[in-house]
Amino acid sequence: MLEAKSIVKRYAGADRPAVNRLDLHVRRGEFLSIVGRSGSGKSTLLHILASLIKPDSGSILFQGLDICSASEDRRNQLRGRDFAVVFQQHYLLPYLSVLENVLLPFLNGFRTVKQPRLAMARDILERMELGRKENSRPGELSGGEQQRVAIARALVRGASILFADEPTGSLDFATGSSIMRLLHELNADGLTIVMVTHNSEFANSSDRVVRMADGEIS
Amino acid sequence: MMNIFTISAGYIKAKWMRTLLLAAIFTLGIASMFALYKISNFVADNMERKLISYGANILITPRQETLKISYGGYALGDVTVEEHPINLDAALKAIDAVELRANIAVIAPKMVTMARISGQAAALVGVDWERELQLKAYWEVLGAFPEAGSADILAGAIAARQLGLAPGQVLNIGGREFQLSGVLRPTGSDDDTVLFIPLPVVQDMTGKPGRISFMEVAALCSGCPIEDIVNQLQAALPESEVRALAQIAESRMYSVHFAQNLAFSVSLVILVTACAMLIMSMLSSVAERCKEIGIMRAVGFSRRSVFLVFVSEALGIGAAAGASGYALGQALTAYVLQRLHLAEEANPAFEPAGLSAIILAAALTAGLSAAFPAWRASLVEPAEALVSL
């Protein structure tokens, strides 16, 4: 589904590349975990795969398209429609309601969000057990609820692949476990997931684990 | 209804204090500009009207060729060799055709002659009542001013005293009877020493129908230099002498231009200050919301969409400030005009078109001011924002 070939990324001033000639193949419907110590390059790799950062060299093929050489518009389209990203922090817009936050990917133009999309957002919120909190502000939710809203926002456009960067990193174990259960449910429904995590228990619950060290797969 | 404006509206509501402050500054700027513009225009118009009431500022006389003659030590004085008389209809037609005709407020033709009244010599000045009373708005009268088109006459204060005249009296001039409708209160000018009589009567008495002795002209000088009007009149009336009463004209122009330039300068300073504050505020907002921009970009917002989020916030603030600025400006204008005792003459009425224009201009100004910060926001790469995450 997603194939990275010879990816190299070096940050200015760094003595070695964050990601060094890395190859990775993500299969459709799999739950892949990327683990490694801090600074091993796992988050950089995830951001490159999610089209948030351009690598210095190499290519990433998604449905036959090399997203590294794709136009700005095409990359925006990918991020908006095919890829979904969840971060360690939820980064919800505090002045929008839960429903508005979930609909954020649709709020990028003058066109008003129509009923089918509203219904879709409400369905996802129901699935996240947040149906009754659609009018709440993010500040009124618990950490786990906020992360579930962030996942709902990521998935509202029907993405086929979810990139999760330490999605349980800022949550306690119980809340983190509930988020992991949710991710497994989504994966069972066919969503491809690539997750970066420090938690070996959560990593081991996925289909495949990739270990990174010094920018390479070890 | 949810679209890109939901984000702007949400942020504006959440940061209502900041929004209110920005809108207040913009409102003050717009209100001051609006009020200064209106007041300066009212005052300028009023000044023009008042200055016109001080009399003419251009004189049109027949071109004369004179010769100073003396013989055997005896001075015979200036002798007119050739005179080019002014034909009233032709002159008015020529004046109507000049480019700056709109700046000519009043044209008052006159014909001067002498007559005997009750055995005493008196100077008669033939005038067109309507034009003359418009030019000499400062005249005050004992009795009444003659009606436009009537055959009544008016006496200057000194002339009336010398001839023993009183309002209502009937005078015999050149075999015809005229009623004296009023006596002018002293003006301190030549007007005190003459009798004013309808122009056609004097033309009949002198046997020069259609002719006049000279014309006094009051020109509005806020829109152009008096010299331009004089030059155009001179070109239109080559057989006449056209002279500007320079001192009056210059002082009129100076006063009007000074008031308008002052208002323009103050308005410009206020507008630039309001725009600078909006730019600073938006720049700090962009820095503060870097993570938000990163998230928007991460969920597929294009650079144009991010740009629109910030510009639409400014447009909203500008439009609101435009509406409140108009209302405040109207109130301010009315208050100042009242304090200047001009409220009765100038009525700053509500104009829907003016309100729309101000809202549009304010929104555009705010939008343009926000363009640079919004452009900076649109340049944020998701990766850069993520580093700050």
Q: Are residues B292 and A93, on separate chains, in Cβ contact within 8 Å?
A: yes
- How far is the alpha carbon of B343 from chain A, nearest alpha carbon, in Å? 46
The CATH number of the domain where A85 resides is what? 3.40.50.300
pLDDT given for residue B182 in this prediction: 94
E strand residue ranges, A37-185? 57-62, 65-66, 83-86, 161-165
Is A12 in CB contact (< 8 Å) with chain B? Answer: no
Q: What is the pLDDT of residue B257?
A: 73
State pLDDT tens for residues B337-367.
888 777 666 666 778 898 999 999 999 999 9
Beta strand B195-198 with B153-155 is: antiparallel
pLDDT of residue B246: 58
Please give the pLDDT value at position B389. Answer: 41
pLDDT of residue B258: 78
**Cα-based distances in Å from B220 to B95, B103, B127, B162, B366:** 15, 5, 22, 37, 37
Total domain count, chain A:
1
- Domain boundaries, position A113: 2-217
Question: pLDDT for B216-245, tens place per residue?
Answer: 988 876 555 678 888 899 999 998 989 887
DSSP state of A104: G
The residue ranges of chain B whose pLDDT is under 70 are 46-56, 80-82, 221-225, 246-253, 255-256, 343-348, 383-384, 386-389
Q: How far apart are CA B254 and CA B265, in angstroms?
A: 16
Query: Could you list the pLDDT tens digit for every one of the 218 residues in chain A?
Result: 899 999 999 988 888 899 999 999 999 999 999 999 988 999 899 999 999 888 999 999 998 889 988 888 888 888 888 999 998 888 899 999 999 999 999 998 889 999 989 999 999 899 888 889 999 999 999 988 998 899 899 888 889 999 999 888 888 888 888 889 989 999 999 999 999 998 889 999 999 999 999 888 88
Does A81 contact B382 at a Cβ distance shorter than 8 Å? no
CA distance B279 to chain A (A): 22
Give tens-digit pLDDT for B106-139: 899 999 999 988 888 999 999 999 999 888 888 8
Name the helix (H) or strand (E) containing A114: none
- Please check whether residue A154 touches B, CB under 8 A: yes
CB atoms within 10 A of CB B371: 16
- Looking at residue B387, what is its pLDDT? 53
**pLDDT value for B81:** 64
Q: Which of B1, B6, B292, B378 to mutate to test the interface with A (most CBs of A within 10 A)?
A: B6
Angle at A210 between CA A209 and CA A215, to 5 degrees: 160
Q: Are strands A31-36 and A208-213 parallel, antiparallel or unpaired?
A: parallel
